[in-house]
A and B are shown apart, each in its own frame.
Chain A
């Protein structure tokens, strides 16, 4: 316990690194995911194909492979990040997570009652209008719990950045474990609790929101 408290300053810094990685890539993935979800339900064939192929490939790609691509392979294509660590991690996590955001949004769109979209169309709204004025505002409600789930998964996934030159919770626990070989298990339990500190409240929030938005259809 003493080691954990002694090193708490370092661990707290790493905790904030994990949180900021989650927050930035979460926002970017949300934007990207909504765009891809719109592609996937749009009437334009090539966009649908693009969305489907993107989601299918990304969902079947290991996240480590995605990181590996941006860190080691992208430079060969002429894409060089100014520095390793934060930005490659953001790009890899955002691209990976946006596929799952897309799926959450699409399930939200599918859960909106058929009559809503029909009503929108029958008063002459176009695809864009019925999506933005009628369907999406309702889809958000039922998409929020799965979106929070995606955020929880993202929190856990940020740990992969430890293997690619970014110092977050797992990377710091590895470093501290080497420094204090006698207290490894205690350190890992402590760091595990830090993760649960993010994931469990988010989970509770998700189930609260779910109860609140459960409206009659």
Chain B
């Protein structure tokens, strides 16, 4: 039983335990019944027939290797290629924006970085991709990279802004008092600590970037989802389910792995002594705070401080 749930109900006594056991059995039985019903429906629709053979013995004279090359090498490869190009661009330019906002002394510099951040995180990624494709006439790959990089640049800038804001004030004051300029204070003292406390959020944001690379399907980039569609069109509609199943499993497996990595790093950081602490001894970023800031950066304006999911 998790700690958050136990707030809402007492540790069960003998009577409640007996009742919970009944509930457990009833609901488990209900879920199993639902599952069997759905499986039966699927069976009726022929979901479990020989169509799955497309994965090891495809029709139309193709080899299993052809199918898997299309899915893994061309499909997943293209998805990861767009991610691997866009992620560093987004991280570096987002970092520059955040540093400009915190460290610049010129009003114009600060405001331009604020405006860029606020505009680009309020626009749909797909719109940015179409802008690059139809407006600038870029290739599908670079349109996808443009959309992913520009949107996530704004989000990364906002995540780092939240991280910089969460640092104890003394850090900045110390930097300024030994005669560093505001920019140097930001770069040498604050940014490394902000990146450290926001690392879980930055990693989770890579999951968002990877998820959004599937929008390439719409702008004509031949990534994983498009390969699934192409194979389906080639082999016939009957083979949709196995092909989709493999594609979805790849996406979800990668994303869950990276999300877990972020949670693991957060847990490790929580136990470490090398994270910035406030004067009262609390961690500068409370538990789940980095994730909340990332959520806000993706979705809202000025809702910093709310414990979001």
B296 within 8 A of partner (CB): yes
In the complex, how many angstroms separate the beta carbon of A55 from the nearest chain B beta carbon? 9
A9 within 8 A of partner (CB): no
CA distance A169 to B127 in the complex (A): 9
CA distance A177 to B244 in the complex (A): 32
In the complex, identify which listed stretch (B24-32, B101-109, B160-168) lies at the interface while the others stay far away: B24-32
Q: Which single member of A48, A110, A150, A160 contacts B215 (CB below 8 Å)?
A: A160
Q: 0/1 per residue, B6-17, Cβ < 8 Å to A?
A: 011110100000
Contact partners of A142 in chain B: CB under 8 A: 306-307
CA distance A69 to B247 in the complex (A): 11
Q: Which single member of A50, A65, A188 contacts B248 (CB below 8 Å)?
A: A65
A149 within 8 A of partner (CB): yes
Q: 0/1 per residue, A60-77, Cβ < 8 Å to B?
A: 111111001100110111
Which size class do A's interface residues fall under? 35 or more
With A56-B256, A73-B240, A145-B303 in contact, is A64–B214 under 8 Å at CB? yes
A216 within 8 A of partner (CB): no
Q: 0/1 per residue, A129-173, Cβ < 8 Å to B?
A: 011000100000010011011101100111110110000011001
Q: 0/1 per residue, B206-235, Cβ < 8 Å to A?
A: 010011111101100000010011001000
Contact partners of A62 in chain B: CB under 8 A: 210-214, 225, 251
* Residues A210 and B135 in contact, CB atoms below 8 Å apart: no
Q: Of all chain A residues, which has the CB nearest B118?
A: A200
In the complex, how many angstroms separate the beta carbon of B142 from the nearest chain A beta carbon? 16
* Residues A203 and B20 in contact, CB atoms below 8 Å apart: no
* Residues A78 and B123 in contact, CB atoms below 8 Å apart: no
* Residues B218 and A162 in contact, CB atoms below 8 Å apart: yes
Residues of B within 8 A of A (CB): 4-5, 7-10, 12, 20, 23-24, 27-28, 30-31, 41-42, 44-45, 47, 118-119, 122-127, 130-131, 134-135, 207, 210-215, 217-218, 225, 228-229, 232, 237-238, 240-241, 244, 247-248, 251-252, 255-256, 259, 288, 292, 295-296, 298-303, 305-309
Residues of A within 8 A of B (CB): 41-48, 50, 56-57, 59-65, 68-69, 72-73, 75-78, 100, 102-104, 106-107, 109-111, 114, 117-118, 121, 127, 130-131, 135, 142, 145-146, 148-150, 152-153, 156-160, 162-163, 169-170, 173-174, 177-178, 184-185, 188, 191-192, 195-196, 199-200, 202-204, 206-207, 210
Subset of 10 A-B contacts with CB under 8 Å: A44-B20, A44-B24, A62-B210, A64-B215, A65-B225, A65-B248, A65-B251, A68-B229, A72-B232, A103-B309
